[in-house]
Structure 1
């Protein structure tokens, strides 16, 4: 196969991955529409650019909460992020700070952000989540803070840029 060409299997996997993400986006838009019809406070979504700007600005720094599984967290996370367990074990210690939730593609984090918003917390969903972070070529760290290019994409089907290494377990 010529360099730069994609196999049929890879092409199908890319289309399936993109289709799953589109389906998730649609499903959570429907859920959000229903929540709003019930009079609940909307869950705001932010993009990778929004998050990078926020983290680099002098504004009130957000609490970045990674809601992925222990297996995913064991591989890598965005620098400065805490786990959902850490947040839930001491939520009062973060009061007054906005919360940014993220996962792999923004679904689990949307549900977590919705729960927080419903309880009165200033929370947003980082919709692009870790796959968007990787697509932007941004750095990841291990749980101990050391830099890494390893990422757990939840499913092998989800593609990450070649500059990252897919790891499904530590």
Structure 2
């Protein structure tokens, strides 16, 4: 197992434990969605789904999951997006969990895409540039995170 994979597993465990503790105190549940579930929903053309990229500017400048908007775009237009199911993603699911938790606490129907962009890439799914063109470039946050060879790593 690589260091990157170990970090991903540690994050999954840690955020799962945090969520269990939160739930034991009666906090609202932060749901998660898998790569296959997200891909299926996106392919159905479900217009209630809103994918929000919470990664840094430098990460988003390289690529995104097709159709995603930035956290800033979402927050500038919350009334426009009211009633939609928000799915937050980042690189490994940590930052997106925290953002989804914040949204859920404020009454938004939000979930964490726990596999995030690394899971998307590991499923060999397409990416797009910020202007919507197909790209194989991806910013994996740290080079220790493995992405399949079909992607060009940019940091």
Query: Runs of at least 4 residues of structure 1 off by over 4 A?
Result: none
CA contact (8 A) 1:103 1:129 kept: yes
- Structure 1 residue 161 and structure 2 residue 140: aligned? no
What is the alpha-carbon distance in structure 2 between the residues aligned to residue 123 and residue 32 of structure 1?
14
Distance 1:18 1:139 in 2: 21
Aligned CA-pair RMSD: 1.0
The answer to whether the 8 A contact 2:48-2:83 is kept is no
Distance in 1, matches of 2:9 and 2:120, equals 17
Residue 88 in 1 paired to residue 75 in 2?
A: yes
Partner of 1:133: 120
TM-score normalised over the length of structure 2: 0.97
Structure index of larger Rg: 1
Alignment partner of 1:49 out of 29, 36, 61: 36
Label 1:60 to 1:143 Cα distance change in 2 as closer, same or farther (>3 A): closer
How far off its partner does 1:158 sit?
Answer: 0.2
In the aligned structure 1, how far is the partner of 2:89 from the partner of 2:19?
A: 17
Q: For residue 119 of structure 1, what is the aligned residue in structure 2?
A: 106
Q: Secondary structure at the match of 1:40?
A: coil
5+ residue gaps, structure 1, are 1-13
2:72 aligned with 1:72: no
Deviations 1:104-157 (A, max 9, x none): 011100000010011110001111100010011111011000110000000000
Alpha-carbon shift at residue 29 of structure 1 (Å):
1.0
1:107 to 2:70 alignment: no
Alignment TM-score, normalising by the size of structure 1: 0.88
1:93 is paired with a residue of what secondary structure?
A: coil
**8 Å contact from structure 1 (residues 55, 61) kept in 2:** no
5+ residue gaps in structure 2?
none
Aligned residues: 155
